[in-house]
Every structure is written in C-alpha cells, then in structure tokens.
Chains A and B, each alone.
Chain A
Amino acid sequence: MRIALLMWLFALAAPLHAEFVTTTVTLDDESDVDLRMFPAEGNILLLGFPCDQGTGLNEARASQAMSAAGIEVWMADLLSAHFLARTPSSIRSLDGNNVRQLIEHIAGQTDKTIVLATSGYGSVPVLRGARLWRQQRQGEGPDPLQGAILFYPLLNASEPEPGKAVEYMPVVHDTALNIAIFQPEKSPNRFWVKHLQQALEEGGSHVESTILKGVRNNFYRLKNPTAKERAMTQQLPEMIASAIEKMNLKKDSSQ
C-alpha cells in the first residue's frame, strides 16, 4: 500500500525542472563540498554520491521525484571538491573521511534516518565512510545511518585476472549495513552479484540484490540509451523508494 502511494506521488512529481537548494560544506581537510538539497518532510534522508561533478540530470530528476514523495535527498559532489577527474582511480582514492564528515554534518542538523546512495566505484568511499562513521560512534545511542543503495557496485580489490575469482576490497568484509544492490543485466558484474552479496553478508551486512533486466551499467547516464534504459531511468525513484521500504529501517544502536 505504501509503495503504491509512493508510485502515485512520483507520478505527480514534475519531471523536468529539478528544484533544489545548494549549499557548501567545508570539511576538516578544508575542501568545500557542494551539496544539492531536495528537501522533504519525511523522516528519511538519502545522501547521494553521484560522482557526476554536479551534471547528472537524471539523478537530479529522480531526487526531485523522491523529494516530492517525502524522501529528502542531498547530493554531494566529492570529486569537484578535490579537483578530481571522474576516473576509477580518483574515485577509489577517496578514503571515506569526507563521507563520514558529511554523515556527521547531517546527523548534527537533523534527526532523520540516513541512507547512502552511489554507483560503480563510488561504492568504495561510501562503504569506507560508513565504516569510519560506525567506528567513530562506537555504538553509542541510536545510529542515524541505516543503509546504503549501490548501483552496479565496483568493489574489486584489483584488476580482473583471467581464470581467477574476484577478490574484494577489505571494506566489503567490514561494513555492517542494510544494503540494496541494483545490478544491470548487461554487465559481467551480474555474474558476481551473489559472490559480492556473500562477502558483504560475511561482514555483517544485510543485502538485497536485484538484477535490472535489459539495461547496461550506468544506464541513466548513457548518451545512447535504449528504450528499456530510458524506461528504467524513469523508474529510478520508485526503485530507490522500494529498496528503502524493504530495508525496514529502525533507528537503534544494535548495529
């Protein structure tokens, strides 16, 4: 019933002009992180790390739709904050401290439950940041950070080697979160989703994974999307809201 209501609200959301406010947060390393904030009245705050240098129109549209449906969205631009290019190595180089500080910043401003969201290599700093946040809190009081949504997470420890199983970065085995994975079907990663899920669960996470039929990684940013990819992009807000709904978030100190 709640999902049906959310879908109805998404349908009402204006599709073209993303309304948001921007602000800049200065972190401990004196870097300035630009934030696009899509406010909402609900008790969930989605902190997104699109690694798009502020250019992702479809992410902004999805954020607006979620905001209209009651999920507040903040989109952080970590790459521009450090003058980094959007390359795998630069994204993987982020140690997670900026993510931790942003969680801390939000937790100091609101009592909303926080869910992180990112894609591809952005999963590396997001999980690192979540782990650092948990270490900093040491289980004291209700934890506002409850989950993460990862689109085609790329968490391999090294370059692929033919004939050898994928090994994951240490943070995969050491982050206990509610995690929703959305893995496009048209990607070799799809064959490793269960392997990744198992590795995350061994670290204490609860993981739900979904294969997105007929679309490629990064489908919502492609210059030549297929009809299926355009349709899937339109469904992003419902997919994310549904994943949050399934997480059955509880703000407690048990994790």
Chain B
Amino acid sequence: MKSFLTALLVLFTATAYAGELKPYSGAPLPDFTLQDRQGSSHRLSQYRGKVVMVNFWATYCTPCIKEMPSMQRLKEKMNGRDFVILAVDMAEEAADVVAFLARYNIKVDFPILFDTEARVIEQWMISAVPTSFILDKRGTIRYALYGGIEWDRTEVIELLDPLLNE
C-alpha cells in the first residue's frame, strides 16, 4: 500500500523541465580560445559583429543530445545573417566526442570546441549542463539558460531578431 501511494505521488509530482532564455544577470565573462574537431582555433572575441550562441554540452547529457539537432535547424534558419553557434564540449576526450557524434548520427556543421583542461568551464562557472549564453554583436552576454530547449522555436528567433538588428 505504501509503495502504491508513493508511486501515485511520483506520477503526480514528476514534471518535465522546460527552460527559457532569461536576461543574463551575471558578471562579464572572459574571452577564450579553444580548438575544434579539425584543430582550428576559435577565439570568442573574433566573432565580434555577430550574435553568438555559446552552448556548453557533454555526451553524457541527454538534454544536450536532444537539443543539438534544433541548434542545427536554428543555424540553418539564420543562414545569411550574422549568427554563430559555438558548442563547447565539457572536458571530454576529443576522440570520444567525435566517435559519439558518429555513433548517434548527430550531424552539425557549427564548431564543436574542446575545453579539455576545463579552464573555460571554470572561468564561466558552469555548474549545470547544458548551459547556453547569447552574446550580442559587441560581445556582451544578453541572455542565458540552463537546461535544454528547442532552439528553432519562434520565441527564440523573435528574441534573437532584435540583437541581429542592433
């Protein structure tokens, strides 16, 4: 009887997390330079003049894997506009990440960057995964979110549009 009541409570109290982009209230965060799968370096500040989405993710994070195709769709919807996605893997081995993407047939053409030493993770104080930041064309962090969402939703694009038009 006790187990049955507990199971009922689980059913009624379990809720799916649905995050949303919120205005960023933290301090400015430092510039970084990280390498991608091909060994090319990406310095965050080199993207001044573009709206940048910095997404921290890991292969063990189910919401990260779920949201990644929607990030690719967002990139495609933003084709021709000043918009960039940088997906920073959280201190996993590059070879493992590449193998993971191939195994699960995750096809994205935005840069996957490797923070192998976890320096950026520490500097940006990442405590949950996924965590995403939206930077305006001046490099100022305007919005942030922890948790996974569908990035190609109309609400997200309506929020990005003013930043792209600044």
Q: Are A160 and B146 in contact (CB under 8 A)?
A: yes
- Which of A59-67, A100-108, A162-170 faces chain B? A162-170
Flag whether B24 is at the interface (Cβ < 8 A).
yes
Verify A191–B122 contact, CB threshold 8 A.
Answer: yes
Nearest CB on B from A164, distance (A): 5
Q: How far is the CB of A31 from chain B (nearest CB, A)?
A: 11
Is A216 a contact partner of B29 (Cβ separation < 8 A)? no
> How far is A85 from B121 in the complex, measured between Cα atoms in Å?
33
Q: What is the chain B residue whose CB lies nearest that of A86?
A: B10
Contact A85 B13 (CB under 8 A): yes
B124 contacts which chain A residues (CB < 8 A)? 163
Give Cα distance in the complex from A141 to B135, angstroms.
59
Q: Say yes or no for A87: interface residue by CB 8 A criterion.
A: yes
Contact partner of B29 among A86, A90, A163, A186, CB < 8 A?
Answer: A163
Residue B38 at the chain A interface, CB threshold 8 Å:
no
Asked if residues A53 and B6 are in contact (CB atoms below 8 Å), the reply is yes
Closest to A216 in B: B60
- State which of A84, A186, A191 has its C-beta within 8 Å of the C-beta of B127: A191
Q: How large is the interface on A (under 10, 10 to 19, 20 to 34, 35 or more residues)?
A: 20 to 34
Q: How large is the interface on B (under 10, 10 to 19, 20 to 34, 35 or more residues)?
A: 20 to 34
Whether B9 sits at the interface, judged by CB under 8 Å, is yes
Confirm or deny: A139 has a beta carbon within 8 angstroms of a beta carbon on chain B: no
B8-36 contacts to A, CB under 8 A, are: 9-10, 13-14, 24-27, 29
Contact status A163-B27, CB under 8 Å: yes
Q: Which of A134-182 contact B (CB under 8 A)?
A: 156, 159-166
Distance from B78 Cβ to chain A, minimum over Cβ atoms (Å): 22
B9: min CB distance to chain A, Å? 4
Any B CB within 8 A of the CB of A79: yes
Q: Is the CB of A160 within 8 A of B128?
A: yes
CB distance A163 to B6 under 8 Å?
A: no
Residue of A nearest to B90 (CB): A188
A166/B144 in contact, CB under 8 A: no
CA distance A156 to B58 in the complex (A): 21
A76 to B42, CA, bound (A): 51
Does A192 belong to the interface (CB within 8 Å)? Answer: yes
In the complex, which residues of chain A have a beta carbon less than 8 angstroms from the beta carbon of B6?
A: 53, 79-80, 83-85
Closest approach, in angstroms, between the C-beta of A157 and any C-beta of chain B?
12
Q: Are A83 and B129 interface neighbours, CB within 8 A? A: no
Contact A83 B9 (CB under 8 A): yes
A84 in contact with B125 (CB, 8 Å): no
* A43 at the binding interface (Cβ < 8 Å): no
Among the listed B91, B122, B144, which residue makes an inter-chain contact with A162, where contact means beta carbons less than 8 Å apart?
B144
Assess the B58–A87 pair: CB atoms within 8 A: no
- Chain A positions 185-222 with a Cβ under 8 Å from a chain B Cβ: 186-189, 191-192, 216
Residues of A within 8 Å of B127, CB to CB, are 156, 160, 165-166, 188-189, 191-192
Q: Which of A87, A156, A161, A162 contacts B13 (CB 8 A)?
A: A87
Asked if A188 and B125 sit within 8 Å, CB to CB, the answer is no
C-alpha gap A79/B9 in the complex (Å): 11
Which residues in chain B, 139-156, are within 8 Å of chain A measured between CB atoms?
141, 144-146
- CA A84 to CA B5, docked complex, whole Å: 9
Complex alpha-carbon distance, A186 and B129, angstroms? 11
In the bound assembly, the distance between CA atoms of A192 and B126 in angstroms comes to 9
Report the bound CA distance from A87 to B9 in whole Å. Answer: 10
Provide the residues of chain B in CB contact with A189, threshold 8 Å: 127
Contact of B40 with A by CB under 8 A: no
- A188 & B126 in contact (Cβ 8 Å cutoff): yes
Given contacts A156-B127, A166-B127, A191-B127, whether A161 and B26 have CB atoms under 8 Å apart is yes
Q: Given A86-B10, A164-B26, A166-B127, output 11 extra A-B contacts at Cβ < 8 Å.
A: A79-B6, A80-B2, A85-B13, A161-B26, A162-B24, A162-B145, A163-B24, A163-B29, A163-B144, A191-B126, A216-B60
Q: Can you list 15 A-B pairs with a CB-CB distance of less than 8 A?
A: A53-B3, A79-B6, A85-B6, A85-B10, A86-B10, A162-B133, A162-B145, A163-B27, A164-B25, A165-B127, A166-B125, A187-B60, A188-B121, A191-B91, A216-B60
